[in-house]
């Protein structure tokens, strides 16, 4: 394990314990970096395919989907990335599998308090079909010799902070934090819960694909049965009907058609049922 600049007494011990729970995974902790995912992607470009977890107390240039900035304040966020090889050629549904693993590791409530918004967000559920963004997942890769390596970036809000309007969650009212569920949980404690779950999820996904996570995702699906709007040209408005065993979002449009939406550059957001009248 590689450990740099632990933040508080006890962090080093907790990271050592995490290293023992995730054998074969190099673990690095740094005070500040631009982006943990960018750091790992650059190493991949140089030919370093070592399985690795890199966690930062503060990211200055974290990324969300579509190039949006992921804001992370020191002490308010858990930001980390994991580089792991995946031999499976079809990665469809990987972000959904990771989301399910993260949510299950953080939330044992029944009914669930943490929901999933297709394709890569974690919500705290406030009402059916409605939630506030707790975290996000971004999966990237570069061309490497087989097996291909996934760089999985995760950002989780640990406590509330004000948004500046330029982030992946642009309105303060749209943000949630783990302190709402467990005020005693800090970033290192959360990492100790989610990192081993992520490693196990990637191993299972590699062997079985998203089908192995389909039921777990459906249990936390925050959109299923509710009105949505998407940027897909054939499903601009409709009712989300859940996801397929390959991870595609199924939308029943206003004219009754069933459209399977794959992630790509498509965005999805909840909508008023008035849109469907």
Q: Tell me the pLDDT tens digit for each residue of 136-181.
A: 999 999 988 889 999 999 999 999 865 444 444 444 458 999 999 9
Q: What is the mean pLDDT of residues 207-216?
A: 98
What pLDDT is recorded for position 143? 87
In order of start, what are the domains of the chain with their CATH numbers?
11-220 (3.30.930.10), 227-276 (2.30.30)
**How far is the CA of 82 from the CAs of 64, 78, 152, 167, in angstroms?**
16, 13, 5, 22
* Cis-peptide into 147, omega within 30 deg: yes
Q: Which H helix or E strand runs over 20?
A: helix 11-21
The tokens describing 168, both together, are 């992946």
Q: Are 263 and 93 in contact (CB under 8 A)?
A: no
CB-CB neighbours of 132 under 10 Å: 18
Rounded CA-CA distance 63/34 in Å is 10
Q: Are 164 and 170 in contact (CB under 8 A)?
A: no
Q: Are 77 and 158 in contact (CB under 8 A)?
A: yes
Confidence band (pLDDT; 50, 70, 90) for 118? very high
Q: Tell me the pLDDT tens digit for each residue of 232-256.
A: 999 999 999 999 999 999 999 999 9
How confident is the prediction for the chain on average, in pLDDT? Answer: 88
The tokens describing 129, both together, are 């079909």
What pLDDT is recorded for position 3? 45
What pLDDT is recorded for position 95? 97
DSSP states of 42-72: HHHHTT----EEEEEEEESSEE-GGG-EE--
CB-CB neighbours of 158 under 10 Å: 22
């Amino acid at each position: 394990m590689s450990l740099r600049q632990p933040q508080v007494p006890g962090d080093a011990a907790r990271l050592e314990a995490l290293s023992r729970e995730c054998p074969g995974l190099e673990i690095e902790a740094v005070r500040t970096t631009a982006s943990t995912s960018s750091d790992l992607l650059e190493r991949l470009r140089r030919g370093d395919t070592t399985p690795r977890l890199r966690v930062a107390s503060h990211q200055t240039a974290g990324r969300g989907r579509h190039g949006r900035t992921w804001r992370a304040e020191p002490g308010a966020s858990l930001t980390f990335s994991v580089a792991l090889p995946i031999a499976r050629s079809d990665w469809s549904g990987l972000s959904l599998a990771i989301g399910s693993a993260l949510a299950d590791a953080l939330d044992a409530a029944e009914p669930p308090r943490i929901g999933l918004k297709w394709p890569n967000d974690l919500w705290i559920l406030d009402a059916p079909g409605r939630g506030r963004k707790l975290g996000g997942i971004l999966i990237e890769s570069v061309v490497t010799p087989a097996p291909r390596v996934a760089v999985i970036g995760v950002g989780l809000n640990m406590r509330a902070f004000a948004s500046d309007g330029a982030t992946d969650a642009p309105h303060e009212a749209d943000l949630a934090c783990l302190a709402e569920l467990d005020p005693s949980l800090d970033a290192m404690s959360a990492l100790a819960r989610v990192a081993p779950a992520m490693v196990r999820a990637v191993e299972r996904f590699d062997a079985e694909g998203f089908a192995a996570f389909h039921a777990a995702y459906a249990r936390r699906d925050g959109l299923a049965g509710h009105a949505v709007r998407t940027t897909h040209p054939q499903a601009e408005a409709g009712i989300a009907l859940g996801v397929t065993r390959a991870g595609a979002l199924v939308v029943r449009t206003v004219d009754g058609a069933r459209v399977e939406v794959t992630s790509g550059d498509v965005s999805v957001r909840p909508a008023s049922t008035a849109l469907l009248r």
